[in-house]
Every structure is written in C-alpha cells, then in structure tokens.
C-alpha cells in the first residue's frame, strides 16, 4: 500500500547550514547559551542541531551568521527571537516571533587585511 504524505506547513523549509549562537532565557533560571549549526529555515521557523535538549516553551534568541557581507566587508547576522517548540534527538525547532538582518559595525578580518 502506498502511503501519501501531506505537507501541513504553511511555509516552505530550506535546508541551509549556517553557524549560529543561541541564548535561552526562562524566568527564575540562569540563562543558557551555546553554538550550533542550522538544519533548515522557513519564514516562520528555524531548526538547528543541539547536543542538549532545550526546555520546550522557553524564550530563545539566535544569531545566525549570514553568508553574504555588506559592501564585501561587514558581516551580516540574522537576529531571531522566538520560542522552543520541540527539542529531542539532537534537533531543536524554534517558532520565530521576530527576525531581522543586522550588519556588524566592524569589517571582517579578511576585508581588513586586503585593504
């Protein structure tokens, strides 16, 4: 028997691997931070690798290293805030509540060396 899989997500997911830094905050608990790698992104969510399961429902802030540079010199980061939807088996899924691209105020080392 052939099984039909229906995609229920409203937004298409893109498998992209970018370095990221994250910080978890919960009321009454010290903040927890770490580094990781994205697994996929969509307009409303992001999934990334995580060795430790993160608390579901907790507020999370992500800084994703964007592959492009502003004026070929200034690194760009995707700044994301949201909530942890699920976290198990080395994979954490986040529902984004806000996101924006941020340009670093200092040029990258490679751009400074060539100037």
> What is the CATH class of 19-108?
mainly beta
Instruction: Give the start-to-end residue ranges of the domains of the chain.
Output: 19-108
Measure Cα distances from 7 to 2, 37, 43, 53 in Å: 16, 24, 16, 26
pLDDT at 8: 62
Global confidence as pTM = 0.80
Digit-coded pLDDT (tens) for 75-98: 999 999 999 999 999 999 999 999
The ranges of the chain with pLDDT < 70 are: 1, 4-9, 108-115
**Tally of CA atoms within 13 A in the half-sphere of 113 that contains its CB:** 3
Q: How far is 72 from 81, CA to CA, in rounded Å?
A: 27
- The fraction of the chain above a pLDDT of 70, given in percent, is 86
CB 114 within 8 A of CB 104: no
pLDDT at 29: 83
Q: How far is 25 from 45, CA to CA, in rounded Å?
A: 18
pLDDT at 37: 96
């Amino acid at each position: 028997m052939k099984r039909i899989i229906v995609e229920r997500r409203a937004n298409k997911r893109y498998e992209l691997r970018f370095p990221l830094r994250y910080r978890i905050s919960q009321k009454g608990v010290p903040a927890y931070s770490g580094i990781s790698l994205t697994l996929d992104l969509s307009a409303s969510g992001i999934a990334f690798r995580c060795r430790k399961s993160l608390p579901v429902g907790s507020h999370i802030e992500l800084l994703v290293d964007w592959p492009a540079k502003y004026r070929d010199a200034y690194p760009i980061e995707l700044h994301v805030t949201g909530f942890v939807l699920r976290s198990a088996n080395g994979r954490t899924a986040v529902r984004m509540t806000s996101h924006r691209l941020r340009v670093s105020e200092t040029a990258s080392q490679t751009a400074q060396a060539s100037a």
